[in-house]
Amino acid sequence: MTRQTKKLISEAYKDPKYSGKHVVIIGGKIHARKTGSAKSELLEKLVKKYPKETPVVAYIPKEDTLIPLL
């Protein structure tokens, strides 16, 4: 994972506009969608556009979401 990708992941978690969305990071950009099916379509499109890059896919939880630690 590149330094730029790590920076973009950090930005996605800090920016409230990505809250509650699925994000795909590829091509040095953050792409977001609300639903899983829309994310799948976006991922297919981006993989075709950037065939030599590996995408990072994540869900950014809403601020009030509890995440249990085990």
Q: In 3D, which of 30, 38, 37, 40 has the Cα closest to residue 60?
A: 30
* Residue 69 predicted with pLDDT over 80: no
Q: Where are the beta strands (DSSP E) in the chain?
A: 21-26, 29-33, 56-60
* Residue 66 predicted with pLDDT over 70: no
Q: pLDDT tens for residues 26-57?
A: 999 999 988 778 888 899 999 999 999 999 99
Q: What is the pLDDT of residue 38?
A: 83
Radius of gyration in angstroms for the set of CA atoms belonging to the chain, rounded to a whole number: 12
* Residue 60 predicted with pLDDT over 80: yes
Q: What mean pLDDT value characterizes the chain?
A: 89
Amino acid, single-letter form, for residue 63: E
Pick the range with the lowest mean pLDDT from 10-14, 56-60, 63-67.
63-67
Domain layout of the chain by residue ranges: 3-60
In the numeric block, which tokens belong to residue 64? 């009030």
Cβ within 8 Å of residue 56, ≥6 positions away = 1, 5, 9, 24, 25, 26
